Every structure is written in structure tokens, then in C-alpha cells.
Structure 1
Amino acid sequence: MPALAQLTPPKTRITTVEDRYFDKTVQDNYRWLENVSAPDVKEWVMAQGEYTKRLLDRIPGRDSLISTLTGFDRMQPERYSAIKRRAGRYFFRKTMPGENIGKLYYKQGEHGAEILLFDPSTYQNGKGYYMLDHLPSHDGKMVAIAIANGGGEIATLRVIDVGGNKFLSDKLSPVREEFTWAPDSRGIIYTVLNSADPFDVNFQMNTQACYHALGTNPQNDRVILSASKNPELGISKTEVPTVYVSNDLQHLIGNLMTVDYRMHVVIAPITDLAKAKINWKPLISREDSIAGLTDVGGQLFLHSIKGAPNGRVLVTSLASPDVRVAKVAVAEGNKIYEIGASKDYLLITKDDVVRSYLQTYHAATRQLHNIPLPVSGVGGIRSYDPQANDLYVSLVSWLYPPVTYNYSPPIGKLTPSTFHRQSKYPGLDQLTVEEIEIPGHDGTLIPLSIIYRKGLKKDGSTVCFMTGYGAYGHSATPHFDPKYLALLNQGVIVAVTHPRGGSEKGLSWYKAGFKTTKPNTWKDFISSGEYLIRAGYTSARHLIGEGTSAGGILIGRAITERPDLFAAAINNVGVTNVMRFELTPNSDNIAEFGTFKDSVESKALYEMDALYHVKKGTPYPAVISVGGMNDPRVIIWQPGKFTAALQNSTSSGKPVLLQVNYDNGHFTEDKTVTFRNFANMYAFALWQAGHPGFKIR
């Protein structure tokens, strides 16, 4: 084995391209890495991956972390998820202790025998397939499943005949995972993609929602909603049309999806599904600021954030809906997370960062009822079947593994669910949580969750893993993560930040870390790190920063703005060249970050672009970036270019790595891949942050 000093990263050539963005000239030294199909780029990626593997293989605690995560997985009893009931049959994903991926089962009635319907590991010679989603038909006789492989998100849609326990001949591909059944259970409505290639920048541009009649040739499927089919609706090329059927089975709802969570929705009568062209009518524009909708008992309920940053619920007639005259059903209070529906009740989930408040609203009597929760935590309320009123409630907290209850609104009582199995993990009784607020760079109070072992000495000597996201209005609510527990049981502090750009404090919190205000996101992260050091939890020699996906902006700009604050950084499938992001397959993120074609937004994009803020001769912390070769959301050259720039620029002598996952996308259900992936990231960062269990000798 070569000495550590002999392990050096592959050389990366610099070929400068200059771009002019209005009055700003930007130099890009690594544009050539964007051609991922070019032989020299493939060779560079492989060389980076090999260098990273050789170094990671030398870290003594890495394999122990993999064993710990695997052991935690085996401690769990069987886990049930995505539970759906139709015509008395329950369909669900179940993962047994130690199993790599979940399988699809069904049973007749709540206490019936569980019958295996689909095992992804045996599909097409076990080529790494897993289920993105499943949905039973209304009559419960069939179930459609979206299948993908290699951690990807471009799906193939198949249908299983439940009684015969076999696939029908129907095979739809490439499609998105969102789909629905026609009311008569004889056809499926789905969204077709333009390509099965995750590197194709047009794979979800100008997409189309289609109707497929079971047993027919997919090439003859009828387009029911698209920009070309419906020019009168003004559908943009980045809006993805997804169509579903209302709960009363009388209406088609067309949701024109982007990353903007303000919805753009059209509606049509279900009878139009048989027509050559559906007579879609506009229902909701983005200016209406509706974040969610559902129907109960002939009424359409709208989760509105217009003039109500924490959200409120409006109601209008489903037969003749009009947002302009909708009445307030539930006034603004705690922040609404989501709404759902059962046969007679609207289901409401609210939260205040660290706990949920679950409510039911009886559509006929307008009675609002709070669901009593046995523990403080976050969770949600779902209907097994939207045509019935029996529900299930899930709860979880930082130190409390998920628990599931049945709930009946008329009775108002939680009872144990047959789908719940209690999990037990070592070390939980030794942990404590602090929920505090710390001052940000501008005096704004920033929530911060700190988890650590009891008896902590605040002398700055403890390694701290600090993570953040801050985008899309996503709130970092409490959740139980065995990966965090693996760190906590090693004596590591876990700090979860809540920067602006999320929705922890409502819509205003989101908009305070959005486009031109995006710097607040990484500055809040920096402020959180400064507080942890100032209060003695850790020190700059022991602080690890982590950001995933859009959190790549957060971690990338945090270390380029304050490289002295961190011992190590993890950039996990992160967006680090955001000025070029709209040219990737995930180009619809213009709604979240902005476009370089706008003079104001281009300046904001430059400010949040980590790659273009890497400076030669700067002592950067140790950095590991991660990229998935099947990732259509954050294409491999995003973390790749950032890695190249850091390797060619840092003066600290600390390693900069690119971990390349050939069997992964943006994420994967494959636990073997997941455990290895996170153990690599954590072990590298713990080594560089001075944890004695990970020191290379």
C-alpha cells in the first residue's frame, strides 16, 4: 500500500472559457468537464473515483461505520410504508430486517395474511431495480408500480394482476413516477418523458400527460395535457403536466409542476377523458399562491399562502370552483405543512419547527378537531383510502423512532396500528436535544437543533457534524436518523441548522433565502457554526459542515466565504455551479434560483455559485464531494467541476476528493450502496476533524 503522501489527486487541465453575463465577465476553467460522454471526461471521473477509493480505504473507522449502519438496520423490525387500501385490500411496501430494498405486498383486510406481489431484486435478473411508487386500482384487482434502476428516477410503469400475481403485458417507459388510475380501473394516466438518458438536457422539457388503456399499444396512447396539445393554456416548456382524478372521481385535475410550490392547475370533467381533446379550464395560477389542494364531499379545499405566510385553508365548490370567491375554512395559525383528505374529513398537518399539530375538519359540519398526540414530535395524518374515514397517524422525533397509529375521527382516539413495529437502538437514553435560537449575521434569530451525549464538556474539544439545506421552502423538521445515531454514539455532536430558504417560520422565512436574498442561507449556516464554537460545543479544528443537493449552495458558499471556520466539508450531490444549472436536465429550477438571462437574477446566481468563488492560494478545509452517475437532478459535473477547482486552488494541503457512485442517482433505496456512501463521507470528515477513531496512522 502506498504511503499517504504518495496518494495525490489526478491532474485536471485548465481550459478557460469566458462568459459575459450583462456587465459581469466570468471565467470557467473546467467547462470541458460538462461533456460527460467524452472519453477524456470519463477517464477523469474514473481516475478521481479511484484516487478517492484508495484514500478512503485507508481510514480505519470507515468499515466499522458500515458495520454499525448495517447492524442498526438489522435491529429494526419489519418496516411498512406507502400503505394504501382499495376495495378492502391493503397494499404496502415492507422491508425486513437486513433486507436491502423493500418489496410490495398486499393483504385482504387489516388482519389478513401478507402476500408478496413484487420483489425488485428478482426483476430482470436483479439489475439493481427498486420501486419508486405503487398505486392500486380503484377495484383493488390490479396495482401499478413505477420501477427504476441504478438509483435513477426515470421510471418504467408496469401493472400486476393481483389475483393472478403476474405482470400484464403493459409496459410504459420512460415515465415520471407520478401516475393515477382512471375511475373505471381500465386505464392509467401518466407523464411520459422525452428520453431515458438522465444526461439528456431535454428529457423533461415539453413533457406530455397521456392516457393508456390497458392491453393496448403504448404508441397509440392519447395525449391529454401538454403545451402542444393545449396552447391556449400557456404551458411553459419546463412545466411538467401531471394529471390525477379528484377524490369524488368526477374531475380531472391537471397540475403543471415546477419547483415553485405555488401551484398552476387546470380542471376538466371526468367525462372528457373519453374525448379526443379535453376541455381544460384554468383553476389556479401561480399568482393565487396555492400550495396544495384536495377535495372532500364536493368541496375543494385550498392551502393558501396568499396574505397568510403560515398558510390558511380556503374552500370553494368543486362543481364550479373559483379561487377569487373562496371562503376561509381554517384561519391562519401554526404553519400548515400539508393538507389531505378522507371521505368526510379534511386532514391538516401543522408544525412549529420541532412539533406537529394534527387536525381534522369535518367538511359537512365545519368542525375542527385537534388530534391528541402521545409524544411530542413531527408526523402526519393519511387516509388508507380516500373513500373511507379510517386514518393512520405517524410520529417521529430526533430521539424517537417512527411510530404508527390508527385514528378514527368520529371516535377521536389513537389505537395501535397493525403496521407498526417498535424499533430499539442503543445509546438513545444517553442523548439529549437542545432547541435554541441564535443571532444571525443581521440580528435575525435562527433556529438551531443540537443533539449530543449527556455530560458534554463545552471546552471546544468535541467533533461536531453540522448540516443544513435551506431551499424550496423545505423545513428541517425533527426525524430519527440511524446515520446520525452512528455519529452520536461516537461522541460526535449533531447540529441541524434551519437557515432562511426553508419554511421553518413560514413563507417569509422561505423568501428571505430565495434568489436575491439567497446569501442569508449560507450566512445563517456560518452564524450557526460561529455560535457552536463561541459556546464551546466545538472548535474550527473539529467542525464538519454538510450540505446535500440544493444544500450544495449552502456548503459551497460557506467554505468559500469562511474557509477558516471548518475542518472538513461534505458536498453531497450538491449544486455548486448554479450559474450553469439551468443548462442541465433539471433546468426547471429557474423558479427557485433564477436565470442568467435576467440582469438582476444573474447577479444573484453569481453570488450563490460556489465554483466561481474558489480562489487560488486559499487554505480550504478538507472536502469530499459526491456525485451519482445516474443522477438527473444534480448532474455529475456539478460536484466534479467544484472538486477540480478546489484541488487546483487550495493551499492548505488538505485532501479534496470526488466520490463517484456508479450504482446511484440522486439517492437510492439500495441500503448496501447507501451505507457505503455515508460511511465514506463521514469517515473522511471525522478523520479530518480529528476524531481519534478515524485517524490514519
Structure 2
Amino acid sequence: MKCFLQCLTISALVFLSNPSFSQETLPKPRKQPVTDTYFGTKVVDDYRWLEDLNNQEVKDWYKAQGAYTDQLLARIPGRDSLIATLVQYDKLQPARYGIVKRKAGRYFFRKTMPGENVGKLYYKDGETGPEVLIFDPLTYTADKKYAISDFLPSDDGKKVIISMASGGGEISTLRIYDIASKSFLPDQISPVREEMAWTPDGKGIIYTRLNSDNPFDTNFQMHTVSRYHELGTAQEKDKALLSSASQPELNISKTEIPGVYFTNDGQYLIGNLTTVDLRMHIVIAPATDLLKPKISWRNLVVREDSVAQIEVIHGQLLLYSLKGTSNGRILMTSIKNPDIKNAKVVVPEGKKIYSIASCKDYLLITKDDVVRSYLETFEVATEKINVVQSPVVGINGFFSYDPVTNDCYVLSISWLQPPSGINYNAAKKTFTKSPFDVPANYPGLQDLVVEEIEIPGHDGVQVPLSIMYRKGFKKDGQSVCFMTGYGAYGFSAVPHFDTKYLALLNKGVVLAVTHPRGGSEKGLEWYKAGFKTTKPNTWKDFISSGEYLIKNGYTSASHLIGEGTSAGGILIGRAITERPDLFAAAISNVGVSNVLRFELTPNADNIAEFGTFTNPVEAKALIEMDALGHVKAGTKYPAVIAVGGMNDPRVIVWQPGKFVAALQNSSSSGKPVVMQVNYDNGHYTEDKTVTFRNFANMYTFALWQAGHPDFQLK
């Protein structure tokens, strides 16, 4: 290992003295083949050794990769200027508010001011009351940087649970802050997920405990337990409410994560057994069972019912159902005597339902058709549907301040419109100005153009594509194009404003947001068309989008950048292994690159999305979508930068690490393949300093390799 690090140092010095680049300046990763057989198919893995993150040689490898990439990026002109632009744009927003929660007339909110890296928690009494600081996470301890993961006020507004995590991680600690005494209670609960709830009497909280605070521990969220904590007692005494061990009759799998909460009327306990499956598994019990030795849980909704969301209003169970529909519909049945199979259809299928929420008397429904949204309210008492016309143009989303009034909040946004909010009263059907809406003006927005089109996919299916560029743009194939995609879990790439995108657009870069199968842009069928055995449609739609952009002069192969984040690592990984000639550069940001072994990582609950290697059909599909397994020696791959977070429990760092190692050993193009290793980050982070650096690094590398004049080595 000493020799490896010495070679790295010498190679880096050679690189720094020579503006030309050769992959030979980075020592080749060693191969140590391991062969697995999946139902007769042999798969050789040369880089299994990189999975042992406790091994010092492995630690040194990641450290060396990160150090080398840092040296490289520091040399590229334009990187520091890009960071400065992101900082400048951030300061143009006078104040940024997160989701606002209201209890007993008191508003609680996370607020971030220009120049602040993370948000602070505040409250105010009424809309016009003064803002009072509750918690600044940066002053919590001197040895760690914390950020607020989530917060939840008690029903009387006198206390608030604060969930906090450090280093961009997602393994949290809960503290309870008392408003009257302006101090934390002694209770300190960890390690936990963000699921949490208050008991109606405010004497205790419900949370989901993890098995470890180590994101590398493959069992840290297996067989997790929902627990009740009485304020002022030791965490060791907390009662188990819902788990695979305490309720074996419910057949809870090891990857189902229980989250327990009360219905708004306090009459029932609801247990949500979460996985990545869109179809919910919900159990229910009387609220009076909370402190009994045994809780009488029973199934309310099973996955075969194909219910994506539920709300309870005035004793009625409202279900966002996907069964028998592609765009979804709303069903209603009694919560006391539920009959899911014969539930009444109260909102028939129409535009695709994006989400539902509830206030006192109304179900709040957001629908969309890829590029625009539609708002409706359903009044439970009268069963009337009201179409809501928001006065703010853009993609709208419904939120409820609290369940005891009909006061709501409508958030509007689009590709070229920063977030804008307005209050809405569902009963009065009136809009009023929100004190949490702080407009911002950004440079260049008036000079931008958006095209919403559909392009032919590889099989003739029409695939949506959103394209943005500056006015006066010439379709001569000479522009750098940044093309991004995701296509998993049924998530839709709905229009949204992003200052990082604006920074690229204002540098003359064409921005293309793809909508491949695997998302829900065209409903449930669109999702299922990029799912498990049909997953190839996801990266093939991405490839088709790139081909269209090149054919029609938006860019060329020497100027096209492809990007995928998280599950989008499958998309970008298979796109460049199937069509390496199509891209100048690729970014795999905390990307799933070795999906064949994904179920063996700490984030093992993805079997419902991608499949399992223990099933012959699904194993074959996993082999096909596994980017690592499709890296071939002697292939001219594009330049690649992969990003991994050392605090990332979702996509463990060896997923992008093994992919980088394979590409470094296999690419014959002479183009760089590097890995950015973040030790102060996880899957993402709220810390703006870290975020701006992280994205500026990725963009700088790709813009350099795609020929942008502002990012060329001298």
C-alpha cells in the first residue's frame, strides 16, 4: 500500500506538470476475481475486495482516489467561478422557508438565510407574530456539524421533536425542545429514522429505532422496531409497538420499516410498513391499545390492494388506489368497518394523481400530466369535487398546515420560476398572501426558452423530453448539452426550479431533462414499463433522447454530458456501457452501479423495485441492468466522474467505487475516469458549502471533457 500511495503522488506530480491527460497517471486498481453463479449464469466480479470498507487497503484506495480527483479538479479553470456563481444565486433568495407546520395557532418552520449553510428552526405565534429562534444546529456541538432532518410540534404547540443528523448522514438523533423553558428536555433518542409522532396527550413520542449508527452495517435497518417513549424515562424502557418480532402473525418482512402514528381524531393507531413498493401495507389498532401489553394490530391495507396513499377524515378512509387504473382514483370506506374491495369510487380516474393530503373537511388532490398540474378538493361530507384554479402559474402542490382547520398552502414552481406560495382556505375557496412566500429574482430567466416535446423511443413509444436553452441558440451541434435522467420508483421528473441548472443555462449549456420509463410521468403503466424485467427501457429511453438531441442539432456526441443520480446510476451506467460513443462525459452521482449486489447493502429494501438474485427471472433482469457487469476491456468509454459519500446509507460507497475501478482498467479512450469521495456528505446534505462544491466539481469535470471553453486546461 505504501508503494501504491507513493506511485499516486508521483503520478499526480506528473499530471500537474502536464496539461494533457492519460488514465495511466492513476495507478490501475488490482483485480481479484470472484465468480458467482446465478441459475446457470456465471458472473465474474474482479472488485469484490473493494466492498470491505473496514480493510485498511480499501480505505487507502478510496482516500487515494478522492485525493487524486481533488487535485485534478483544482486545476480546471472555471470551477471556482462556478462555485462563486452558486453562492451568488443563493444570496439572491432573501430567506428560504421549508415546510411550515402549525399546531394550536403556532407556526413552526425551518428557515435558511443567505450565507447560512444549513437551516435553523423557528416558531411564530400567528402569521404576524415575531419569529423566535428555537434551534441552530451549527451551535449544538463543537465537534460535529449537524443539520435538521425533520421536526414535529406537539398538538398543543408547546414542544417540538427535532431530528438531527451529522455529516450529511440519515441516521438521526431525536431531542425534544420545550418552548416555555427554552431548553431541551433530558430525553435523547438514537439511532433513529425520521419517522416520528406525538401521542395526543403530549406525554410521549413514537419513533422507529435502527439497529446501528453505522451506515456500513448491513443490518442497521433490518427488522427495525417502532417504539413508544414516555418523556422523562430511559430509552431502554421504551415499549415495542410494531415489529416483525412482536407481531409475527402479520408476516412483516425484515426490510419492511414500521412507522406508527395516530389518526387525526386520536381514535386509531396506524402502522405503515414501508418499503420502496408503491403499494402500501397498513395495519390498524385502537388507540387505547398503546400502553397495553399486546396491541391488537390487524391488516387495513395489504399490498395486493394497490393503495399508494391513505388519509382519514371524519371517520372515512380515503384511499389513493392504483388497482385497475394507470392514473389512479380515490376510494372511500368507513375506517371503523373498512371494506377495501367494495370501497366507493368518489374521484374517478382522470388526469394522473400525483399526491393527496388532508385538512379538516377536505381531501387535497394534486394531479399532473408531466408539464402542468391540476388541483382539486374533495369534501367528505357532501362528496363534492371542487376544481381549484391557483392564481400562481406553475406546477402546483397542495399542503395542509394542520388537520384541525381547512387552511392549506399551495406551492407553485416551474423550470424557470422559483418557488412561490400562497394560502388557500378549502372551505371558503379563497386565496390570501402567505407570510412565508419570499420572492427572488435571478439573472437570465427572461432570456431562456423551454421546449416540452415527445421523441420516439427505441421501440416507437413516444417519450417526453424537456429542453431548455438561451434565446438565440443555434441548432448547429456545437453546444454543450447536459442531459439528466432518473426513471425509477415511479418518481416523475416534474418541472422544478434549480439554481444549479440556471448556472449551466447562463453559461450557454443546453439542459435536457429526460422522462424515461420507470417514472410515472404517464401513469402506472409508464412506471411498470421500466421495472425489473422491463428496466432496459429506462436507459434505452435515455439513449433515444440523446440521439434525438444530436440528430436535431442541439448538441453532438463530443459535447453531450449524461447524468444520473442514485437509482439513476443504473440509467447512466448502462447508457454508457451500451452506447459509449454517444457521450463526451458521464456523471454517476451516488449512483447504483452494481445492482446485482444491491440487496446485500445496508439499503436492502429495494428488492420490490429491482428484484432479487434468488429468483431466476429477476436474477436475469438484475444481470442485464448491472452496469459493472457490462464494462468490457478495450472499449472507448467517455470521461466519467462518479461520486460516493462515506456517510451514505442508501447507495454505499463501493457501488460507484467498483464501477470506477472497472472503467479505469478497461477504457481504451484515454479519457479520465475519476471518483469524487465525500467524507463530509452522505446521499445528499443540506450543508450548502458542501453541496455547491460537490455539484461544481461534477459539472466542472464534465464541462471540461465536453469542450466548454470556460473549463479548458491551459
Pairwise TM-score range, normalised by the shorter structure: over 0.9
What is the match of residue 429 of structure 2?
412
Q: Note the 1:55-134 alignment, pairs <5 A.
A: 55-125=72-142, 127-134=144-151
Verify: 1:34 aligned to 2:51, yes or no.
Answer: yes
Q: After TM superposition, give the deviation of residue 126 of structure 1 in Å.
A: 5.8
Shift in Å, 1:455: 1.2
How do 1:566-645 and structure 2 match up within 5 A? 566-645=583-662
The answer for the alignment partner of 1:479 in structure 2 is 496
Deviates more, 1:376-385 or 1:477-486: 376-385
Quote the residue 1:143 is aligned against. 160
In structure 1, distance between residues paired with 2:54 and 2:395:
44
Helix, strand or coil: the match of 1:467? strand
Q: Tell me how far 1:376 sits from its aligned partner.
A: 3.8
1:652 alignment partner, one of 651, 669, 672: 669
How many Å separate the matches in 1 of 2:296 and 2:421?
42
- Map 1:331-410 onto structure 2 (within 5 A): 331-410=348-427
After TM superposition, give the deviation of residue 93 of structure 1 in Å.
Answer: 0.4
Closer/same/farther in 2, CA of residues 515 and 6 from structure 1, 3 Å limit:
closer
- Measured in 2, the distance between the counterparts of 1:375 and 1:180 equals 33
Q: 1:259 aligns with which of 251, 262, 276?
A: 276
Distance (whole Å) between structure 1 residues aligned to residue 547 and residue 187 of structure 2: 57
Q: Which of these residues, 541, 557, 560, is aligned with residue 574 of structure 2?
A: 557
Which residue is 1:175 aligned to?
Answer: 192
The TM-score with structure 1 as length reference comes to 0.99
Q: 1: CA distance between counterparts of 2:302 and 2:224?
A: 19
The one-letter code of the counterpart of 1:636 is V
Deviation per residue, 1:65-122 (Å, 9 max, x gap):
0000000000111011120010111000001112110000001111100000000100
What CA distance in whole angstroms lies between the structure 1 residues aligned with 2:373 and 2:335? Answer: 29
Matched residue of 1:657: which SS? strand
CA offsets 1:23-68 (integer angstroms, 9 cap, x no match) = 1000100000000110000000011011101110011000000000
Residue in structure 1 matched with residue 12 of structure 2 by the alignment: none
User: Residue 355 of structure 1 contacts residue 376 of structure 1 at CA under 8 Å; is this kept in 2?
Assistant: no
Report what 1:318 is aligned to: 335
For the pair 1:523 / 2:540, whether they are aligned, the reply is yes
Structure 2 match to 1:692: 709
Letter in 2 for 1:620: Y
**Alignment partners' CA distance in 1, 2:505 and 2:335:** 50
What's the counterpart of residue 482 of structure 2?
Answer: 465
1:323 shift after superposition: 0.7
Aligned-pair distance for 1:21? 0.5
Alignment equivalent of 2:204, drawn from 183, 187, 193: 187
1:551-576 Cα deviation digits (max 9, x unpaired): 00000000000000000000000000
Query: SS at 1:4's partner residue?
Result: coil
Which residue identity is paired with 2:461?
T
Is the 1:225–1:241 Cα contact (8 Å) retained in structure 2?
A: yes
CA distance in 2, matches of 1:686, 1:295: 50
Percent identity of paired positions between Structure 1 and Structure 2: 67
Secondary structure of the corresponding residue to residue 82 of structure 1: coil
Q: Distance in 1 between matches of 2:397 and 2:195?
A: 21
Native 8 Å contact 1:10 1:47 kept in 2: no
Please identify, of 242-251 and 444-453, the stretch whose mean Cα deviation from structure 2 is larger: 242-251
**Cα shift at 1:274:** 1.9
Contact kept in structure 1, 2:261 and 2:271, CA below 8 Å: yes
**Letter in structure 1 aligned against 2:347:** V
**Conserved? CA contact 1:283–1:322, under 8 Å:** no
Counterpart check, 1:501 vs 2:518: yes
- Report how far residue 643 of structure 1 moved: 0.3
The runs of 5 or more residues in structure 1 that have no matched partner are none
How far is 1:5 from its partner?
4.5
CA contact 2:43–2:629 (8 Å) conserved in 1: yes
RMSD over equivalenced CA pairs, Å? 0.9
User: Shift of the alpha carbon at 1:223?
Assistant: 0.1
Number of the residue aligned with 1:308: 325
Instruction: Tell me, in whole angstroms, the C-alpha distance in 2 between the residues paired with 1:374 and 1:622.
Output: 46
Any conservation in 2 of the 1:568–1:623 contact (CA below 8 Å)? yes
2:21 touches 2:670 (CA, 8 Å); kept in 1?
A: no
Distance 2:434 2:155 in 1: 23
- The one of 46, 52, 64 aligned to 1:47: 64
Is 2:38 aligned against 1:21? yes
Does residue 562 of structure 2 align to residue 545 of structure 1? yes
The 1:376/1:6 distance shift into structure 2, 3 A limit, reads: closer
Query: Residue 679 of structure 1 corresponds to which residue in structure 2?
Result: 696
Paired AA for residue 215 in structure 1: G
Aligned to 2:680: 663
Q: Secondary structure, in 3 states, of the residue corresponding to 2:331?
A: strand
Are 1:406 and 1:416, in contact at CA under 8 Å, matched by a contact in 2?
A: yes
Tell me which amino acid in the other structure corresponds to 2:176: V
CA distance in structure 1 between the aligned counterparts of 2:125 and 2:406, rounded to whole angstroms:
18
SS state of the match for residue 11, structure 1?
coil
Where does 1:269-288 land on structure 2 (aligned, <5 Å)? 269-288=286-305
Question: Could you tell me which amino acid in structure 2 is paired with residue 516 of structure 1?
Answer: T
The residue number in structure 2 matching 1:449 is: 466
**TM-score normalised to the size of structure 2?**
0.97
Query: Which amino acid is the alignment partner of residue 695 of structure 2?
Result: F
Contact 1:10–1:48 (CA under 8 A) maintained in structure 2? no
The answer as to whether partners of 1:10 and 1:51 remain within 8 angstroms in 2 is: no
Number of aligned residue pairs: give it: 697
After superposition, give the CA deviation of every residue in 1:236-281 in whole Å (9 maximum; x if it has no partner): 1110111111111111110110000100010011111121111001
Give the drift of 1:375: 4.0
- d(CA) in 2 for partners of 1:550 and 1:354? 22
Distance in 2 separating the partners of 1:675 and 1:253? 40
Cα distance, 1:461 vs structure 2: 0.4
The corresponding residue for 1:492 is 509
Deviation for aligned residue 1:383? 1.2
What residue is the counterpart of 1:426 in the other structure? 443
Distance 1:33 1:344 in 2: 55
**Per-residue deviation, 1:308:** 1.1
Q: Measure the CA separation in 2 of the matches of 1:382 and 1:269.
A: 27
Q: Deviations over 1:145-198 (max 9, x none)?
A: 110000000010110001111100011100001101011111001100000000
Runs of 4+ in 1 over 6 A off after TM superposition: none
Asked whether the equivalents of residues 10 and 44 of structure 1 are also in contact (C-alpha less than 8 Å), the reply is: no
